[in-house]
């Protein structure tokens, strides 16, 4: 999968690395500011009781 992604990206290796870093940053931004807050509303770890 990673080899196929590397082959389809345009430019020399440093441009490919830059594109992948930007894509990884965009994914992390989406997770931290949209996905994780939405999930934290559904899953509430403070309401756990162990007997």
> What pLDDT digit, counting tens, does each position of 4-49 carry?
888 999 999 999 999 999 999 999 999 999 999 888 888 877 766 7
Give ∠ CA 24-21-32 in degrees, rounded to 5. 30
What is the residue whose two structure tokens read 């082959």? 7
Q: What is the pLDDT of residue 15?
A: 95
Q: What is the pLDDT of residue 1?
A: 73
What is the residue whose two structure tokens read 């509303």? 41
Query: In terms of DSSP H, where are the helices of 1-49?
Result: 2-8, 13-30, 36-42
Q: Is the CB of residue 7 less than 8 Å from the CB of residue 19?
A: no
Q: Is the CB of residue 9 less than 8 Å from the CB of residue 22?
A: no
């Amino acid at each position: 999968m990673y080899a196929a992604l590397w082959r389809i990206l345009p430019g020399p290796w440093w441009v490919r690395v830059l594109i992948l870093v930007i894509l990884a940053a965009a994914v992390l931004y989406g997770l931290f500011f949209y996905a994780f807050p939405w999930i934290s509303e559904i899953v509430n770890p403070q309401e756990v009781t162990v007997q």
